[in-house]
Structure 1
Amino acid sequence: MGLSRSQPEVDNDSANWNIPPFWHKLNSFFLFPFQRTPFMYAVVLSLCAYAMFMGLLIGIAVFVGLMLAVSRYAFKAAAYASRGVLDSSDYDHYPLDADLKVLPWKFFGVLLVHGFVIGMLAQASLKLGVLGNLGSSFLIPVTLMVLISTGSLSSAINPFILLGTIAGIGLPYFLLCLFLFLLMQGAPMAMGFLLVLVPKAMLAPLMAFVIIYFLWVIAAMIGYVMYQNHAEFGIEPDKAPEAEGGSTVQIDPQAAEAKRRDAAVAQLVQNGDMQAAQDEAREWQRLNYDNVADQRRYHRVLKLTDKTAELARHGQQFIDLLLRKQQASEALEVWGSCYKRMPGFKLESAEATLALASTAWKRQQVSHALAVLQNFEKNYPGSPVIPQAQELIVRVLKQGLGKPDQAVRVFMRMKMRHPEHPSTQEAAWILRDELPQDSTKPTAPVAPV
């Protein structure tokens, strides 16, 4: 299917994407807080600053609440930017799996650790304390990146992980720190102007807005640097970089969500927590019974367990879904997985069984075709597709396995029970060299199954 000029073709392999460096996107970072959703949220939070003057306890509670709300949205903006989603209006289309609500608390824990180390260094020497403070400032951006990508406090304070991440990013990390330093100088300068120009009644919310503005600009910039280095952080982007003319090629949100769920379950399996992996995959497939990716994930997890009965039960509905979605080749593979674990496995539908056998025959998987059709007449008594199935058995035995004698025996049963059926006539044509001449006289060849 062709793509229009506004949607140019982009390599789906994100490792090959040419993502512009963050200094080419500065305007988008500075404009991010003015997008409709973050702007309205920032205004509401800024107005809450009035409540800080309603008493000491209320003021402390409001301050803590504001800091939590502002920092949570900052982490959210950075997390989305790390996946290439720079427009807040797209957030609902790309749900995040990670729980970002706890990250501000974990970041506070990182700051406590940094403060403890800086305090120890300052006790030993004032110069060491200054160096420790500079080192902490240098590590804050990468700490935020590691927290967003892993959600792990231990990883965020591990110097080897932090330095390894910096080495992976390279020189752009030092440039990022320079830009962030300049941004941090911008906030007090803006507040200085407000103190001179703004009436005191409006000072509190406007100063709060300035702080929110610069924090969210910083978050968007840090997230974008993660997007530039998404392979380093193990991130699967949701959007490709902007193409010529400013258009953005979107990745199918469902495909992106499927990849994230696959990665989450794979991580549980890798960690040896098979029960959690099975529970997670089972819940997704239960909620999305018509979603091939969710059903496929659950099938793969079941293959790693000893729950043969559940594998067979789920295999029935998964094969039916694949056939309805016209994915017969994968349906045959699922059947093979179930049959291997349960040799007596058979589908509930005669039509589905015949469709699988026909797919196996077309793919030259002769043994599979015959195994699918085994005991067909016994398994589906009275089915109207029995003659077609027997015709396919004749074809497999004669043309696939070179066993015309067995094929003739099947044909004789067909001739006795379905003498006028087109499939019986076609079977006679297939066996024209093995049967007497009068057995094939009445017919011309019928299109093969």
Structure 2
Amino acid sequence: MSKKDYCKYHQREPATWRCRKCQKLYGDCCIIKPPQGLTAPKCLMCTEPLSYLGSANKIPPFWTQINRFFLYPFNQDSVMFLVISSLAFAALELTGLLGIFSWLILISIIYKYSYSIIELTSHGDMTPPSITTLFSGTGFSLFFRQLIVFILTGVFLYYLAKISIILFFVGLILAIFAFPASVMTLAWEHSVTAAINPSRLWFIISGIGWPYCILCVFLVILSISNTVVDAFLATKIHPLLFQSVNTFVNGYFILVMFSLMGYTLFQSQEKLGYTADMEDDELISDEEYYIKQTLADAEIYLKEGNMDQALSIVRSKIDQFPNDLDIHKRFHELLTETNDEKRLVYHGIAYLKLLLQTNNSYQASQVYLNCQKGAPSFPIKEAIEDIKMRHQIAEALINSGKPKEGLVLMKNLHQLDPQYPGLAKAYLLAGKTYSDRLHMDKQALQLLNFVAKKFPNSIEAKQATEFIKVINSLQAS
């Protein structure tokens, strides 16, 4: 397997970008591929434009994906193609029309479809070509060009045999070894000259590296398997059906082999001088791109030891995307690593409001605790002036297993705003928490009695009265 390059900042992530100036490598974790129309990304350290490496470093080697190639022909379009080809051969043979001309036309159609597989898979598209490709574009001449390649190779071997039998066998071995590279070159360039050009073939072979040898082994195995299956079917199937079944089987193995060759090119794209994406690479909006890239940039700055720059770049995006939780989360995380207590608390309050608005109560409780721990000399409790917000955070703290912290935040809510509509609900929860969680029945009864007397006609008063009876009965027993 060829050597893989990895991201400088994430050693297990494949590299997808390279800075030509400082030679830093970045993965998708650090550099997000921008949507079409946006400027190409630049190196964060030296501001030079980055070169896209494609998905070459992310692609698993073909020998780990063998099942995928055997299943490749089982697609609606490819199965339809194989069935039509099989029926066409059988029909022509039964009607006596399967002459050399008809045979060549059918074979050229099959090879047009097969060579288009190499073109697609070499660019990461693992979906077989549509059946409509048979009726559009060029490519029907590829089979005849392949015949010319065979003829020229045969002539070359003939003259070698006249010179020396040793040279003939050496040339034959080299021709067999270079055959897959010739097929791939012909599929790419549609040129007989390129398909027999030794320098071009060596470029393909050396670009793929030693996996090319593994490819050749697999192609030989597939060819032998095709022959064995044909021989087996010849003894089991009626002669009238054999031609169509044989065509289907041969076509199946051809599609498998051509998809394997195309994927091998895709796997070696960087060495072969082109870039392609995997078919499952996600497409994102401009807004998603800016947010993800900002978060990635902040992480790079942090790993480079530049906290101020990390804070600055994330802070700038809060104004641009004030309701994005990911941006706020990252800014909060960065602030917890600083000594700026005031900034931590004030941003924490804004972040808490957003979390509560989006019903992220558990995360809100964690943010509150982070601010409380990170800013001991600037208590966040005193900075939260909104009584409803205090109530919501207190409830989130209690529900997340922090009853003491929640009760502290809920203390004396009636003094802050006696008309607060949620006061009965807040004190009912506080009373139950004192009793159930902290086993402090005295404090619980004080709050429950307050609810029962202050809000006599409310549902909370009824619940408080029932709970008071439960506490009293437990104390009496």
TM-score for the superposition, normalised by structure 1: 0.48
Q: TM-score, normalised by structure 2?
A: 0.45
Q: Which of the pair is proportionally richer in helix? A: 1
Q: Larger Rg: 1 or 2?
A: 2
